[in-house]
Amino acid sequence: MKLIKQLNIILLPLWCILLISLVNVNASALSSCLASIKGQTVYPNNKTFPSLIIDENIYVNYTPSVLVYAVNNQDVQTSVNCAVKLKMGISARSGGHSYEKYDLGGRNNVMVVDLTNINDIIIDSKSQTAKIGAGNRLGVIYNKLSQAGFLIPAGTCPSVGIGGHALGGGYGFTGRKYGFASDNIISMEMVDANGKLLKIDNATNSDLFFALRGAGGGSYGIVTSFVFHIHPTPPQVTSMKFQFNPNQVQQLFKAYNDVGPSLDNNIVLSISLSKGGLSIDGLYLGPSANAKNAMKQFLSEAPKPTSSKFIPQSFFDSVKTFAYVPPNEVANPKHNPYFFKAKSFLVNKGLTSQAINTMIDFLNNVSCDTYALFDLFGGTANINDVTSSLIHRDVLYGIQLLGQDWNSKTQGDKCIKQLNDFGKEFQSKFTSYFSYQNYIDRDLDDWQTRYYGQNFKRLIEIKAKYDPNNLFNFPQSIPVKTF
């Protein structure tokens, strides 16, 4: 033992030299394989590298081996071929808003193909379609489309990337009228595990069309572009903001549960509940007189708001109203990195008053800044579509419980544990079994069923067909076989 130890002390520097040279060989093999890439490749020894791997959520960190800023399909194909050749992990990053940093592979030392520079937006007004590069951010898309008089249904945060967003659903203030972003995908281009560029639509590679529209983020290949069905923006929309006395939360939810399902599909509402706070943000796709009329029954059953606003504006201005970033950032989105952890629940029939009290107790006690959002689903978003793997079609509202902004690791760990423990119990007692995969959560048990339900089996078969060696994987990716 002692001898080996001594030997090791002598040999240690040698080991290090060997290791360093191994890493160097790998690094140079990597850079020579990637030499034909037209876009930039950034390696960890570059001074700017650390700033380029800060994504939206900073509670967990991974260090890739290289960032490839692809500028075209060929760059993505070359990257895939190199990853296969060098037996490296590979991961796609569009907007970098994965709650668990799975865009960086969910582990160290993968090749990250960043799609930021694959950002064309080509609008065809006549056919009401738009070809949209996977690297675009929602704010840029809303801006460009609304200049041409169109919109796609999608989320509210302007810096979210369309790539990850639309492949996992994509829900926002026009969702009850037009469904999820994924429902509006007509076709895609995707680089598969063989480095081949596939065209995917309802007729060509239709199994992938099904898989990618709901379960596509990170598991099947790298999508470089989408063709979306786009919808004309109404000349005027109405943003709505209501504040309520938190003591009247039970009455508010009673109205939400009763009237929510039958609300006009031009409306989406989102209740926000926090310690001492109760409010609603909402949008109506039309002028304010119609909005007031469409909201009449709900507001007559809801408690009297302490403040109430109907704001007539253009669709793009409504995006700014709900972006919660400076207005000039919406068309030029920036990351706003922060610490957060979220739990997702889906509710079919409305929470009971006991469930609401349980939630309020938790919000009053949890050790970090925490709030819950209750996004009204329904309408077109609830229409089942056999060409989509998204299963959440019988939902009254989606709940997101979000803890954020802790200032030490100890506080963060405590808060995450509280959220996990509470979430598990709340979900088992008060909500449906299911959770929304775009709010991906590494601590969720049986995520396979909670995200994909009965479709999980078929998703595995499609995965095994297109990526049998599981090149595209992360801790919660679709596997090639059942365990």
Ligand X SMILES: Cc1cc2nc3c(=O)[nH]c(=O)nc-3n(C[C@H](O)[C@H](O)[C@H](O)COP(=O)(O)OP(=O)(O)OC[C@H]3O[C@@H](n4cnc5c(N)ncnc54)[C@H](O)[C@@H]3O)c2cc1C
With CB under 5 to 8 Å by kind, the binding choice for 423 among ligand X, ligand NAG, none is: none
- Kindly tell me the burial class for residue 16, based on how many C-beta atoms sit within 10 Å of its own C-beta (0-12, 13-18, 19 or more): exposed
Q: Supply φ then ψ for residue 137, to 5 degrees.
A: -95, 155
| β-strand partners of 342 | 402
Cβ-Cβ contacts under 8 Å for 293 (sequence gap 6 or more): none
The answer to the question of residue 160 lying near ligand X (CB under 6 A) is yes
With CB under 5 to 8 Å by kind, the binding choice for 158 among ligand X, ligand NAG, none is: none
**One-letter amino acid of 420:** N
| β-strand partners of 185 | 228
Of 64-72, 218-226, 232-240, 419-427, the window that binds ligand X (rule: CB under 6 A) is 218-226
Residue 105 contacts residue 62 (beta carbons within 8 Å) = yes
CA–CA separation, 457 and 463 (whole Å): 10
The answer to the question of residue 166 lying near ligand NAG (CB under 6 A) is no
DSSP characters over 141-162: HHHHHHHTTEE----S-TTSBH
Least Å distance between CB 212 and ligand NAG? 12
- Which CB, 169 or 286, lies closer to ligand X? 169
CA–CA separation, 449 and 468 (whole Å): 21
CA–CA separation, 94 and 235 (whole Å): 31
Residue 336 contacts residue 254 (beta carbons within 8 Å) = no
- Which CB, 108 or 306, lies closer to ligand X? 108
The answer to the question of residue 46 lying near ligand NAG (CB under 6 A) is yes
The answer to the question of residue 365 lying near ligand NAG (CB under 6 A) is yes
**One-letter amino acid of 309:** K
Cβ-Cβ contacts under 8 Å for 356 (sequence gap 6 or more): 249, 250, 253
Among 34, 67, 70, 115, binds ligand X (CB under 6 A): 115
232: enclosing H helix or E strand: strand 231-232
- Which CB, 48 or 408, lies closer to ligand NAG? 48
- Which CB, 30 or 160, lies closer to ligand X? 160
Maximal CA-CA distance, the chain: 87
The answer to the question of residue 362 lying near ligand NAG (CB under 6 A) is yes
With CB under 5 to 8 Å by kind, the binding choice for 42 among ligand X, ligand NAG, none is: ligand NAG
CA–CA separation, 240 and 254 (whole Å): 20
The answer to the question of residue 357 lying near ligand NAG (CB under 6 A) is no
Our separate counts of H helices and E strands in the chain read 14, 18
- Which CB, 317 or 369, lies closer to ligand NAG? 369
- Which CB, 46 or 243, lies closer to ligand NAG? 46
The answer to the question of residue 377 lying near ligand X (CB under 6 A) is no
Of 41-49, 223-231, 295-303, 368-376, the window that binds ligand NAG (rule: CB under 6 A) is 41-49
- Which CB, 96 or 423, lies closer to ligand X? 96
- The token duo for 133 is 């590069």
The answer to the question of residue 218 lying near ligand X (CB under 6 A) is yes
- Which CB, 198 or 255, lies closer to ligand NAG? 198
Q: Please tell me whether residue 112 adopts helix, strand or coil conformation.
A: strand
Among 63, 147, 202, 336, binds ligand NAG (CB under 6 A): 202
The answer to the question of residue 204 lying near ligand NAG (CB under 6 A) is no
User: Residue with structure tokens 């100890």?
Assistant: 410
Among 120, 124, 361, 405, binds ligand NAG (CB under 6 A): 361
Cα–Cα nearest to 94, from 164, 167, 157: 164
The answer to the question of residue 56 lying near ligand X (CB under 6 A) is yes
User: Residue with structure tokens 């509470």?
Assistant: 422
Among 102, 209, 345, 397, binds ligand X (CB under 6 A): 102
Among 352, 357, 387, 469, binds ligand NAG (CB under 6 A): 387
With CB under 5 to 8 Å by kind, the binding choice for 387 among ligand X, ligand NAG, none is: ligand NAG
Q: Which residues bind ligand X (CB under 6 A)?
A: 56, 91-99, 102-103, 115, 134, 155-157, 160-161, 163-165, 167-172, 216-218, 222-223, 438, 474
Q: Which residues bind ligand NAG (CB under 6 A)?
A: 40, 42, 46, 48, 202, 361-362, 365, 387
